[in-house]
Amino acid sequence: MRVMRDAAAPSDREQSTEVEGRASSPSCVRGAHTPGPSVTCLLRWEKRAFMRVRRLDDAVRHGSQRGSLMSTATHPHTSSGIKVLLLENIHTSAHALFKEHGCEVEALTGALSEDALCEKLRGVHVLGIRSKTQVTAKVLDAAKDLLTLGCFCIGTNQVDLRAAKLTGTSVFNAPFSNTRSVAEMILAEVVMLARQLGDRVREVHAGQWRKVSAGCFEVRGKTLGIVGYGHIGSQVGVLAEAFGMRVVFYDIATKLPMGNNRPCDSLAELLAESDFVTLHVPATTQTHRMVGPAEIAAMKPGAYLLNASRGTVVQIPALADALRGGHLAGAAIDVYPEEPETNSDGFATELRGLSNVILTPHIGGSTMEAQAAIGREVATSLLKYINAGSTAGSVNFPEVEPALIPGTHRVLNAHRNVPGVLRDINRIVSDVGANILGQVLATDADIGYLVMDIEREVSDAVSTAMAALPTNLRTRVLY
Ligand SMILES: NC(=O)c1ccc[n+]([C@@H]2O[C@H](COP(=O)([O-])OP(=O)(O)OC[C@H]3O[C@@H](n4cnc5c(N)ncnc54)[C@H](O)[C@@H]3O)[C@@H](O)[C@H]2O)c1
C-alpha cells in the first residue's frame, strides 16, 4: 500500500518522509525537505524539478484499506497540508472539503490584481477563483509552487489555459453543477410563457388590472421540443413529463431517451411539431446562429422559443421580427450574443419591451444549491489531482483517471509533446531496471501527461531523471 506499514522496512528516504494522518482529518500531503514554514507539507518542490507527495487521504473517506493503515505511521502528524488559496467568496462547501483533507485554507472575499496575485501565490499549491480573477501568463510564471487551479464557475476564459498547460498547471471547472437549476428555470418559463405571466406581473406592478384568458394555455398535453439533449436538456425532458407535456428532442449524438421522451431525426422535424422549443446546445461552429429566420419560420405559428444555452445560438433580430409579426407567441431569453461584464454595466437588446418576452440576465444556473455543488465539484477535482494525479474533467490537460495500484509509487510527469520524449522516458525506466505496474499516457498537441505506477524502490531515481529532461514541465511522486 502507499502508506507504509510498521511491518514493512522503509527505506531511509521513506523514514524521513513518514507522516501520520489524523483519524478525524484523513488528508495530509507531504514531501521530503521542508523549505520553510509557509510550505509545511511540501518538502521539496521546484517547477522544473520534482516533488514527492505523501497521500494519506481519500482512502479513509472512501473506506479503503489504505486509510486503515494510517494509524501505523510512526512520526507525528501535522494538521497542515497543501496550501489552498480561495478567492472571490468561494462557497464554504469547498473550504470544508479541503480542510477535511488536511489542507491549509486561506479564503479571501475579493479578486486580486495581477501583481497582488503574483505576490500572494508564493507557497500556494492550489488556487481557487471565480470569474473576476485574471490568471495571466505572468501570474502563472510567478506561481512557482502552484500545482493546480480551480475555476469555481462554468467559464474559464479568465485563465490563460495554454500558459497554464505549459507551466504544468492543470485547470478544472464545474460544468455540470447547475444543471438542475437551469432545467427548473426552463420549466418555470414554459408555464410563464403559456400564461403570459411576465406581462401580467409587469402590469399589476404598474397599477393596471388586466384579467385576460385569451392566448393563455395550460402546458399539459403540449409538445416541448428540446434541442441538445445533454445534461440540461435531458433534465428538462424529465421535468416536462411531470407537467403532462409530450417531449421530443433532437441531438447530433445518439441519446438514450428519458421516460417517454422521443428523439426526432432532424431539427426540422422537431421545429414542425413543437409548441415550445428550448435550446440546450453548446457554443460550437455548428450551433453558431443555428436558429435564424428559416428555423423560426419553420416553427408552428403561435409557438414559443426559449434559449438558456449560449447567446450566439439565436439570431436576435430574426426572433424580434417573429415576435413583432406575431408568428411566435413569446420567448424566454437568458443568454445574449454580447453580455455586460459586470452588474453595473448597462444592457440593451432589441427584445426589450416586446410582449410576452421574458428577459433574464444569464441566471439560469444561479442558485444557492448550484454554488454549493460547484464548491464540492471543483474541490473534489482538485483533490483528486493532488492526491492521485487524476485529470478527469480538466479543461487544459489530457484526461486520465487510472485506478490506484496498491504497493506502488505513482510518478506523474507532464512534458512537452515533442519527438523523442517517450524514447527518453523509456530509457530512464530501463536504465534503473524499473518494473512498470501500471501506466497511462494521454497527449494533446502541446503536452503529454504520464501516470506511471512503479515499484517504490525506484520511484526517486525515475522521477529525478524525468524531471531533469529538457522536455519536463512538471514531475511529482505520490507515495
Ligand atoms: N443559462 C445558464 O446560466 C447556463 C448554465 C449552465 C449551462 N448553460 C449552457 O447550456 C448549454 C447546455 O449545457 P449542458 O450542460 O446540457 O451541455 P451538454 O454538453 O451536457 O449537452 C449539450 C448537448 O448538445 C448536443 N449538441 C451539440 N451540438 C448540437 C447540435 N448542433 N444540434 C443538436 N444537438 C447538439 C450535444 O450532443 C449534447 O448532447 C451549454 O451551452 C451551456 O453553456 C447555460
- In this predicted model, what pLDDT tens digit does every residue of 24-75 receive, in sequence order? 222 222 222 222 222 223 323 333 333 334 333 332 233 222 222 222 222 2
Tell me which H or E stretch contains 425.
Answer: helix 421-431
Q: Is the CB of 286 under 6 A from ligand 1?
A: yes
Catalytic (active-site) positions: 310, 339, 362
Mean pLDDT along residues 4-9: 24
Give the domain 4-74+398-478 fold. Answer: Alpha-Beta Plaits (3.30.70)
Q: Can you give the pLDDT at residue 381?
A: 97
The atom number, within ligand 1, closest to the CA of 286 reads: 31
What spacing in Å lies between the alpha carbon of 287 and ligand 1's midpoint?
Answer: 10
Q: Is the CB of 268 under 6 A from ligand 1?
A: no
Cα radius of gyration rounded to whole Å, the chain: 27
Q: Can you give the pLDDT at residue 365?
A: 93
Q: Can you give the pLDDT at residue 69?
A: 23
Mean pLDDT along residues 122-146: 95
Phi-psi region of 289 (alpha: psi -120 to 50; beta: other; left: phi over 0): left
Q: Can you give the pLDDT at residue 345?
A: 86
Q: Can you give the pLDDT at residue 164?
A: 98
289 pLDDT band (50/70/90 cuts)? very high
pLDDT at 84 over 70: yes
Among the ranges given (47-56, 216-225, 318-327, 411-420), the one the predictor scored with the smallest mean pLDDT: 47-56
457-465 — which CB contacts under 8 Å span 24+ positions? Answer: 457/11, 458/432, 458/433, 458/434, 459/52, 459/409, 459/411, 460/13, 460/52, 461/432, 461/434, 462/411, 462/428, 462/429, 462/432, 462/434, 463/50, 463/52, 463/411, 463/413, 464/50, 465/428, 465/431, 465/432
The atom number, within ligand 1, closest to the CA of 366 reads: 3
340 pLDDT band (50/70/90 cuts)? confident
**C-beta of residue 357 within 8 angstroms of C-beta of residue 333:** yes
| Nearest in space to 47 (alpha carbons), one of 168, 179, 151, 174 | 168
Q: Is the CB of 365 under 6 A from ligand 1?
A: yes
pLDDT at 419 over 80: yes
Q: Is the CB of 320 under 6 A from ligand 1?
A: no
Among the ranges given (4-8, 126-130, 268-272, 409-413), the one the predictor scored with the smallest mean pLDDT: 4-8
What is the spatial distance between Cα 26 and Cα 43, in angstroms, rounded to a whole number?
A: 19
- In this predicted model, what pLDDT tens digit does every residue of 446-456 receive, in sequence order? 999 999 999 99
High-pLDDT (> 90) share of the chain, %: 78
- Name the grid cell of 390: 487524476
The atom number, within ligand 1, closest to the CA of 185 reads: 1
Among the ranges given (57-61, 210-214, 377-381), the one the predictor scored with the smallest mean pLDDT: 57-61
For the chain, the structural domain boundaries read 4-74+398-478, 79-177+369-388, 179-365
Q: Can you give the pLDDT at residue 15?
A: 26
Do 4-74+398-478 and 79-177+369-388 show the same overall fold? no
Mean pLDDT along residues 332-357: 93
| Atom 28 in ligand 1: residue holding the nearest Cα | 281
What spacing in Å lies between the alpha carbon of 230 and ligand 1's midpoint?
Answer: 6
What is the spatial distance between Cα 332 and Cα 69, in angstroms, rounded to a whole number?
A: 56
Q: Which one of 3.40.50.1980, 3.10.180.10, 3.60.15.10, 3.40.50.720 gives the CATH number of domain 79-177+369-388?
A: 3.40.50.720
pLDDT at 292 over 80: yes
| Nearest in space to 39 (alpha carbons), one of 102, 104, 118, 106 | 104
pLDDT at 376 over 90: yes
What spacing in Å lies between the alpha carbon of 284 and ligand 1's midpoint?
Answer: 10
pLDDT at 177 over 80: yes
Among the ranges given (206-210, 223-227, 404-408, 411-415), the one the predictor scored with the smallest mean pLDDT: 404-408
**Mean residue pLDDT across the chain:** 84
| Atom 39 in ligand 1: residue holding the nearest Cα | 230
Task: Write down the number of H helices and E strands in the chain.
Answer: 16, 17
What spacing in Å lies between the alpha carbon of 231 and ligand 1's midpoint?
Answer: 7
What spacing in Å lies between the alpha carbon of 352 and ligand 1's midpoint?
Answer: 25
Q: Can you give the pLDDT at residue 81?
A: 74
Q: Can you give the pLDDT at residue 317?
A: 98
Look up the CATH number of domain 179-365: 3.40.50.720
Candidate from 151, 181, 182 with most ligand 1 atoms within 8 A of CB, to mutate: 182
Q: Can you give the pLDDT at residue 49?
A: 33
Among the ranges given (73-77, 104-108, 120-124), the one the predictor scored with the smallest mean pLDDT: 73-77
Q: Can you give the pLDDT at residue 14?
A: 30
Q: Read off the pTM.
A: 0.76
Q: Can you give the pLDDT at residue 368?
A: 95
In this structure, is the dihedral angle defined by the CA atoms of residues 463, 43, 96 and 131, taken in order, positive or negative?
A: negative
Candidate from 131, 153, 239, 252 with most ligand 1 atoms within 8 A of CB, to mutate: 252
